[in-house]
Structure 1
Amino acid sequence: MASTTVGDVLPTGGRVFTSIPDLFFIPEFVFGGLVWMLVASTEVVYKNPMGWVMFVSVFCFVMTTLWFFIFLCGANRSSSWPTMDVGYHFVATVFYLSASVPLACITVLQGQVLALVSGLNSDFLLEARKIYKLHIAAVVMSYLATLFYFMHTIFSAIRWKRS
């Protein structure tokens, strides 16, 4: 019976770009970075929920970058890395889900307020509509980032079970 070693389970170097769970690093970068940029480009009126969204997007972007470079450089050789991989991506999934829901709620409330004052045609209203559209895009990107972190968690858990 052949034993499975960590070297067979976790990719290093260029193999990071060919293994299924680790291929999700790229969309996690893209969508997480877009959430960060879209929320940062608007005026933060609702400080607490939007602050949490900013924290989650920046934290996950930085940690995913570090995680990616650890895998790319081959520093993931110990037997605890598959467990830490599942743990990190699970935490990132929970964080993004906990940020996506309030962001969507704020966006829905903002849309309802804009619908009430839709008869007005002022510069303020035009700016508010622009911010509303940016928040809609941020909500979509946030849920896509949540989806990719979730898929990464599932495939990392399958890989962890094999190790």
Structure 2
Amino acid sequence: MERAVVVSARRTPSVPECNISTSTLAFDQHFTTNAKGILLLAEIVCGMLVWILVGGTEYFHVPALCWVMFVSILCWVLTICLFIIYLTGAHSRIPQVPWTTLSLCLNCGATALYLVTAVVDAHTVNQAIRGRHNYNCWAASAFFAFLTTLCYAGSGCLSYRAWKTTEEGQ
């Protein structure tokens, strides 16, 4: 008795099948040269200086400076996320999100929070004993907090103009 040999032949494709996905996100090299991109970069740098200058001290002994740290890190992280979204052009790929309204709310909220934070920071510096190690760091952080407030206010104005033209266009 002869055995029948069954050969299972799989069809092999001439080109290997790979699950390769291509991204439609691209780097927008002109974004960092317009006012919106420059202000976002300034917010990131100045905001980072605020939390680094406060974080390098014993701020946890002063409850007001814990607020400064919270606001500065929160706004910094949100701003970096928004910067990456605009830099990669993801905002144009996700039209379901009202980016102009989101940007307006973020910038106006950050302006208000940073204004309170800058005043709290400056008040804390005013109460600090001059000559202490922390005094210079807290004074510099208060300066950068006010500077960051101005950057967010500028971004808020740009966002308002963009939001107004978007609302009028509908």
TM-score normalised according to structure 2 size: 0.75
SS of corresponding position for 1:98: helix
1:162 aligns with 2:147: no
Closer, same or farther: CA 94–46 of 1 in aligned 2, 3 Å: farther
Percent sequence identity over matched residues?
31
Deviations 1:90-130, CA, capped at 9 Å, x for gaps = 111111111111111010111xx44xxxxxxxxxxx5x1x3
Mapped partners of 2:150, 2:44: distance in 1 = 13
Work out whether residues 70 and 76 of structure 1, in 8 Å CA contact, stay in contact via their aligned partners in 2.
yes
Q: How does 1:85-124 map to 2 (within 5 A)?
A: 85-110=103-128, 113-114=129-130
1:14 aligns with 2:29: yes
Work out whether residues 22 and 152 of structure 1, in 8 Å CA contact, stay in contact via their aligned partners in 2.
no
Mapped partners of 1:44, 1:81: distance in 2 = 36
Q: Which 5+ residue runs of structure 2 have no aligned equivalent? A: 1-26
SS of corresponding position for 2:160: helix
Larger Cα Rg: Structure 1 or Structure 2?
2
Q: How does 1:4-153 map to 2 (within 5 A)?
A: 13-44=28-59, 46-77=61-92, 78=95, 80-110=98-128, 113-114=129-130, 128=132, 130-153=133-156
Work out whether residues 115 and 149 of structure 2, in 8 Å CA contact, stay in contact via their aligned partners in 1.
yes
Deviations 1:32-77, CA, capped at 9 Å, x for gaps = 0000100001112543211110011111111111110111111112
TM-score normalised according to structure 1 size: 0.78
More helix by share: 1
Work out whether residues 16 and 72 of structure 1, in 8 Å CA contact, stay in contact via their aligned partners in 2.
yes
Query: Partner of 2:17 in structure 1?
Result: none
Work out whether residues 60 and 66 of structure 2, in 8 Å CA contact, stay in contact via their aligned partners in 1.
no
Q: Displacement of 1:31 after TM fit?
A: 0.6
Work out whether residues 115 and 146 of structure 2, in 8 Å CA contact, stay in contact via their aligned partners in 1.
yes
Q: Which 5+ residue runs of structure 1 have no aligned equivalent? A: 1-11, 115-125
